[in-house]
A and B are shown apart, each in its own frame.
Chain A
Amino acid sequence: QLQLQESGPGLVKPSETLSLTCTVSGGSISSSIYYWAWIRQPPGKGPEWIASINYSGNTFYKPSLRSRVTISIDTSKSQFSLKLASVTAADTAIYYCARRTEQVVPRAYYFDYWGQGTLVTVSS
C-alpha cells in the first residue's frame, strides 16, 4: 500500500522560507504515469494545488505562486520537496503531498494517494 508522509517545521516566521519534504513508501516514485504534488488547504477552505513534479524533474506550478515556489525530487531517497519563499500569514495551511496518476486510455488524471497533511503556521 502506497504511503506518503510529510515532514518539516510546523511554525515559520513571516518573510522566511517554508520547507517541507514528502517521503514515499510502499511503491515506486519513478514511473512515467505519476506526478508528485503539493496541495495546501487553509483552515475552513478548499484545497489549493501548488506544484507538481515527475521522476525526471519536469515541473508544473500554480501561476500565482510560481515566483515563490520550488519543487524538487530525490528519487534515490523516494522523496520530493517544497520550498515556499517569503511566507506571510496567508500561507498558513495544512500542506498535503499527493500522487497524481495519469490514466492513458481514456486519458484522465486524478490525485489518488494523499499524505495525512501537516499544519504549517506562519507567525512571529
Chain B
Amino acid sequence: EVVLTQSPGTLSLSPGERATLSCRASQSVGGNYLAWYQQKPGQAPRLLIYGASSRATGIPDKFSGSGSGTDFTLTISRLEPEDFAVYYCQQFGSSATFGQGTRLEIK
C-alpha cells in the first residue's frame, strides 16, 4: 500500500499570501493517479485537482498542482478567506490511499 505523507501538518498564512502544500509518496505514483481535495468542517471532501495537475470542473485557476513520481505539490495563490480548510492528497494504485492532511489556517 502506498503511504502518502503531507507536509506541513498545519500551515498558517494570511489572506493574499501564497500556499504551498507538499505530498510525498512511499513509492512512485503514476502522475495521472494523484488527486487533491479540499475539506471544510462538516462537509465531504471536494475534488480540486486530478492527474496531478488538472483542475476539476469549476475550480478556479488559483489552485494548481504539480509533481511526479513521489513528490507532488498543491499551490494556492492569493489566499482568500474561503480557502482556509484541510487539504488531502490521494493516489490510485492497487489500493487507493489518502494523506493525513494539511490544515491551512488564518494567521
Contacts and interface: CB of A to CB of B under 8 A. Distances in A.
B32 A111 contact: no
Contacts, number: 60
Given A46-B98, A46-B99, A46-B101, A111 B45 contact: yes
Contacts of B47: 110-112
B44 A117 contact: yes
Interface string A107-124: 111111011110000000
B1 interface: yes
Interface residues of B, number: 24
A106 B33 CA distance: 10
Interface string B47-70: 100110010100000000000000
Interface of A: 37, 45-49, 52, 60, 62-64, 96, 98, 103, 106-112, 114-117
Interface of B: 1, 32-33, 35, 37, 43-47, 50-51, 54, 56, 88, 90, 92, 95-101
